[in-house]
Amino acid sequence: MNLANLNKIARAMVAPGKGLLAADESSGTIKKRFDAIGVASTEESRRDYREMLFRAREAMSSAISGVILYDETIWQDAKDGTPLVKLIQDAGAIPGIKVDEGTQPLPNCPGELITTGLDKLAERLPKYYERGARFAKWRAVIDIGKSSSNSPIPSMTAISVNAHALARYAALCQAAQIVPIVEPEVLMDGDHDIDRCVEVTTRVLNKTFQELRVQRVALEGMILKPNMAIAGKKSNKQAGVSEVAEKTVRMLKNCVPASVPGIAFLSGGQSDEDATAHLDAMNKIGGLPWPLTFSYGRALQAAPQKAWAGKAENIQAGQNAFTHRARMNSLAASGTWTA
Ligand code: 13P
């Protein structure tokens, strides 16, 4: 492993005023997004949509450090035959790849999930590297709630096996000279308040870093992609922007070693503007040991999807909408955004 090189890539992923575009929706997820705008999800429409984003030159070169791709996309070419990875590289951004293969029910833990994809990962990684990927992503999903038998979710079992899988993935990536994005996502689907989110996320992050250490992952050669401290969507006790920012920063300072080169949040179903406002408020607090930036999927893409609506004549409008969100999040990444 060349740790200096991994660290250099990781730092480029969180360069000042830049963040990641998560465009790695699985075929099932992108179909849901396309259904919402009345677009049939085909190999071609998925390609056209993503080509539109990657050709938004201003956004891609000034606000986006890297793009997380889905397996189908990394092998696709633009309409004119240029590989999509080349469009990303030409804009000065780094291609990355989602390598997990989604989730399965976790045996003995009703209602909980384990992320799959470790088998054959060692063989897949060099092929992605050769195609241009310099970082990867693996998402573990932790829910907050109650099981059908009324036991609390998450169980320690789910936290532990998902942390173990994240660390197995991270170690394999580093051996293949690929920077792992370690994403233990605590969902915001429930009716829990912000303090319950902090409690669960703290346990999840602590267990994840414990496993990373056990498996000898070099923390200087990874990026953490966490959820923010936030109340569940169904909670009637929503926290304001400053409370989210203060509690998230405090939680991360308690759990994330300073040697981690950067933290790039997921948006997780927050509104576009909330995702921007929360990130900005955290960076305004300042004095943090790591850069805090975005690795947003929905919060960067909901607006361009709506503006594009699958029509070639709307490509410019789609790119403008994407550029706007990218620019707002770039400002938030340096704590200089104003509502
Ligand atoms: P969202 O920002 O839509 O949560 O997606 C980010 C991501 O990559 C989830 O794995």
- Choosing from 225, 237, 284, 311, the catalytic residue is 225
Q: Which of 32, 113, 166, 295 to mutate to test the pocket of ligand 1 (most atoms within 8 A of CB)?
A: 295
Tokens 């969507």 -> residue: 233
3-state secondary structure of 261: coil
3-state secondary structure of 115: strand
Query: Amino acid identity, residue 42?
Result: T
pLDDT attached to residue 7: 98
How many Å lie between the centroid of ligand 1 and the Cα of residue 21? 9
| Catalytic annotation present for 137 | no
Q: Which of 115, 139, 266, 270 to mutate to test the pocket of ligand 1 (most atoms within 8 A of CB)?
A: 266
How many Å lie between the centroid of ligand 1 and the Cα of residue 315? 23
pLDDT attached to residue 94: 99
pLDDT attached to residue 308: 98
Q: Ligand 1 atom 9: the closest Cα is on which residue?
A: 266
Give the ligand 1 atom nearest the CA of 268: 4
Q: Which residues contact 168 (CB under 8 A, 6 or more apart)?
A: 118, 215
Q: What is the rounded (10 degree) CA torsion for 145, 112, 183, 35?
A: -90
Q: What is the pTM of this model?
A: 0.98
| CB of 22 sitting under 6 A from ligand 1 | yes
Could you list the beta-strand ranges (E) of 130-236.
135-142, 145-146, 152-153, 179-186, 223-224
46-95: per-residue pLDDT in tens? 999 999 999 999 999 999 999 999 999 999 999 999 999 999 999 999 99
Beta-strand pair 135-142/103-105: unpaired
Query: What DSSP string describes 25-50?
Result: --HHHHHHHHHHTT----HHHHHHHH
| CB of 261 sitting under 6 A from ligand 1 | no
Q: ipTM of this model? A: 0.90
| CB of 267 sitting under 6 A from ligand 1 | yes
Q: Ligand 1 atom 4: the closest Cα is on which residue?
A: 268
Read off the DSSP letter of residue 134: -
How many CA within 13 A on the CB side of residue 171?
16
Distance CA 209, CA 260 (A): 10
| CB of 141 sitting under 6 A from ligand 1 | no
Q: Ligand 1 atom 10: the closest Cα is on which residue?
A: 139
Q: Which of 21, 233, 293, 298 to mutate to test the pocket of ligand 1 (most atoms within 8 A of CB)?
A: 298
3-state secondary structure of 67: strand
Sign of the Cα pseudo-torsion (315, 26, 229, 288, in order): negative
User: Of 21, 100, 99, 17, which Cα lies nearest the Cα of 67?
Assistant: 21
pLDDT attached to residue 294: 99
* Distances from the Cα of 49 to the Cα of 80, 167, 304, 306, angstroms: 14, 33, 9, 11
125-167: per-residue pLDDT in tens? 999 999 999 999 999 999 999 999 999 999 999 999 999 999 9
Which residues on adjacent β-strands are paired with residue 140?
A: 184
Preceding omega of 304 cis (within 30 degrees of 0): no
pLDDT attached to residue 300: 98
User: Sorting pLDDT into bands at 50, 70 and 90, what band is 285?
Assistant: very high
User: Sorting pLDDT into bands at 50, 70 and 90, what band is 319?
Assistant: very high
163-217: per-residue pLDDT in tens? 999 999 999 999 999 999 999 999 999 999 999 999 999 999 999 999 999 999 9
